[in-house]
Amino acid sequence: MIGYVQWTEEKKACAPGETAILRMRFYQVGILRREGTPELLVRRRAAWAAGRLHKLGVTRAVFPEDFPYAALFARRGVLPVETLPLYRSLAADWIWAEMKARGLSAGAAIAISGDRLGSEVTRTVTELCLRVRYVLLDVPYGAEELARQLRREYGVSLLLSPTKEQLESAEVLALFAPRKELSCKNGAVVPLYPGAHLDHPPRLRLPPVLEESIPEGCRREELFAALWEAGALRPGQIEVIPSLLAP
């Protein structure tokens, strides 16, 4: 089970126990923090919450926004829910949102670069080819068969083995693997590889009927990643709002 860590001003809310968000169960621990509570005391309470999750065998958790005690939890083997799989699954929607935010048309050039043609790259390329006229794919192998399949099934074309200049001139560049030789000065760069730093991550939003069930103050991307992994959220339910438009 995944943990859910929250701040609380009510002592009774500190009692650990199960909670459900969109019918997915989490093991919730509360950290009592009121105005004027000494930092040392808050830190001790955070350490106790980390120990509680550790004893229960919890290794991943959703944390509050701007949480300063993540290192205490990491020492007990409790890490934040990984968000990269969610972002990679939403790559095509993210790229499309970045295009619309910048006023780009379907005639813009979109470059996808990766170290292999995995399922996520294949899905992203396929979805974009149905929306965008010029998709450039840069992978070591396997691209030719995908290009033939896309032309056969959808009648769309895919530009293979783009040059460095073509990659750098694309309006949007999505990186499923690092490319240190690229300047990454494109109109928008979408980093989708392990260890990538998101200076301006997109905002994720659900339909209003689902938003009502999302607690305030949590790291939404971690919560959505957990819900996505468990199947509590389905494709098409998460709207990606690029940083250019996010409030």
Q: pLDDT (tens digit, 9 = 90+) per residue, 8-27?
A: 988 876 778 999 999 999 99
- Give me the pLDDT at residue 242, please: 83
* Residue 214 burial class via C-beta count within 10 angstroms: exposed 0-12, middle 13-18, buried 19 and up: middle
Q: How far is CA 237 from the centre of its chain?
A: 14
As a whole number of angstroms, the distance between CA 243 and CA 237 comes to 19
192 token code pair: 């989708």
As a whole number of angstroms, the distance between CA 179 and CA 183 comes to 9
83 token code pair: 């968000």
- Give me the pLDDT at residue 235, please: 79
As a whole number of angstroms, the distance between CA 25 and CA 207 comes to 21
Please give the C-alpha separations between residue 144 and each of 122, 149, 153, 158, 237, in angstroms, as whole numbers. 12, 9, 14, 9, 32
Going from N- to C-terminal start, the domains of the chain cover 2-80, 94-191
Contact 132, 106 (CB under 8 A): yes
* CATH number of the structural domain 94-191: 3.40.50.720
Higher pLDDT residue, 227 or 236? 227
As a whole number of angstroms, the distance between CA 126 and CA 146 comes to 9
Q: Is 246 a residue whose pLDDT tops 60?
A: no
As a whole number of angstroms, the distance between CA 96 and CA 81 comes to 25
∠ CA 42-58-7, rounded to 5° = 30
pTM above 0.85, yes or no: yes
Q: Is 247 a residue whose pLDDT tops 60?
A: no
